Structure 1
């Protein structure tokens, strides 16, 4: 049952991530995007740490330092890299390059480092999802390509791919709650200097506090906990492709809540995104059933 639900945990995590953009539009005007990213990590890290301390699942015995540092550093770097990319080269190009490059980079790293070559269905679903993402975002605004912004976006995609790969190794041996609590606490410490660079007076307002709590608890703490639970039975490359449900959710929320208008081309992008994700979920369920059948045959 856990194996069958794993893709849906990741999908639900991506849906929660997709609320980030809408939440940011509701933040006070004085809130800088990078400061919002740092606040999001701080609130999320504190939330996860409190939960793991209450539950009492934190056990540092033989805890692997190297993958934990890789996961924490990559998550800390993702925030400023992504937000800087969006600022320099626009929301469309920045989002497409960062989110679209992550599945490909994850697949290649998994192929080279873990000797796991992605299957044909993964390539097809990833291609459909990225194509849908490109059509959806590039069609929403004029395209402005900034070389520095592109590099920052690629850095963001690489950071998310490395975080996923490092986290998957951790959740195989330790509880998902412990892993995300430790990783995000370290990420918060690494990114904390940003909180002293930007004006944080907006945080004390009711709207600023509400946005920060939503981003920290729902879109970070709970979302990454679900993502970590899904990683137990889903490969890193598949998980990062499923995470492309994030821009899909953001686009639909933009229509339903913000009042944005999507033309026929944008809806085509949404259809391709949904098709790619559906193919991958179907593939994951099928492979899971095949593995269960194989276990039954071996035990008989």
Structure 2
């Protein structure tokens, strides 16, 4: 019988692609859940069940609590909670691909802030052009919701803080940092969800299955796959492939939610992706020197 084993050089990008598809499909699934549950409830339950799943996968009970630097963990968890809630508020008002594109400006800004080469001005210009092209002006039947844009930019700001906070030493492994951060984020969002009167059917078995599915798609599966992919990917390859997230989000919105974009908005996605890839290449070349 023929051997269909996939080479590691192909396997790692494929695993990362599956992780991104899982993450962006979770956005479409979350938008469907918004029809039955408040957004804060969906966000809080995703963090709760996601944290529990990751706690089991990475054996959270093995950490030494005395080594944990809680200041770093709390700042990381606050950024995670803000990013999660604001992004869900954004996709409730905007097409998924456009919301991810606005949000993507956050990590791109962090990368460009630390860049100092002449090509960096090209990437800044491309990012700005992409933002301009995202606006449909008078071409679309329904203009972009300005509040949704603000939510997406806010989520991007939290994503930038998430990156900065995640680089601080936490006293534990990266896997355990994410898990503890999700618990902190859940502790922030859950009281808000309860104060806003979480629906009585939230904790029914069928509802818990929906939220567990969301947690697996949005947290457990993509995070685990990313850890596997990183073993066989350079930082340049990883950053370049992750830059495809806005396009994958737009495709997910089109397939699962019937969301369509103007050709100028698809061009905007390509422009922002190009800026992110260019920035990634420039940063890695600088590090290599």
TM-score, structure 1 normalization: 0.68
Please name the residue that 1:75 is paired with: 80
Aligned pairs, number: 273
Match of 1:199, SS? coil
Whether the 8 Å contact between 2:26 and 2:217 is mirrored in structure 1 is no
1:124 to partner: Cα distance: 3.8
Residue aligned with 1:18, SS: helix
How far apart, CA to CA, are the structure 2 residues paired with 1:119 and 1:7?
28
**Contact 2:90/2:149 (<8 A) preserved:** yes
- Per mean C-alpha deviation after superposition, the further-off stretch among 66-75 and 116-125 is 116-125
Instruction: Indicate the residue corresponding to 1:200 in structure 2.
Output: 199
Post-superposition Cα deviations, 1:104-139, rounded to whole Å, max 9, x if no partner, equal 54247xx5xxxx445455554465356446635757
Cα 1:219–1:175 shift into 2, 3 Å: same
Structure 2: distance between partners of 1:11 and 1:127: 27
Deviation at 1:12, TM superposition (A): 6.1
**Structure 2 Cα separation of the partners of residues 136 and 11 of structure 1:** 24
> Which residue is equivalent to 1:106?
110
Q: Is the 8 A contact 1:98 1:157 kept in 2?
A: yes
Q: Taking structure 2 as the reference length, what is the TM-score of the superposition? A: 0.70
**Match of 1:27?**
33
Q: How does 1:49-128 map to 2 (within 5 A)?
A: 49-53=55-59, 57-84=62-89, 90-91=93-94, 95=99, 99-103=103-107, 105-107=109-111, 111=113, 116-121=114-119, 124-125=122-123, 127-128=125-126
SS at match of 2:67: coil
Match of 1:43 in 2: 49
Equivalence for 1:252: 251
Identify which of 18, 22, 26 aligns with 2:24: 18
Does residue 184 of structure 2 align to residue 186 of structure 1? yes
Q: 1:224 deviation in Å?
A: 4.3
Relative to structure 1, the CA distance from residue 151 to residue 29 in structure 2 (aligned partners, 3 Å threshold; closer, same or farther) is: closer
Q: CA deviation at 1:250?
A: 1.7
Deviation at 1:225, TM superposition (A): 5.3
| Counterpart-to-counterpart distance in 2, 1:228 and 1:124 | 31
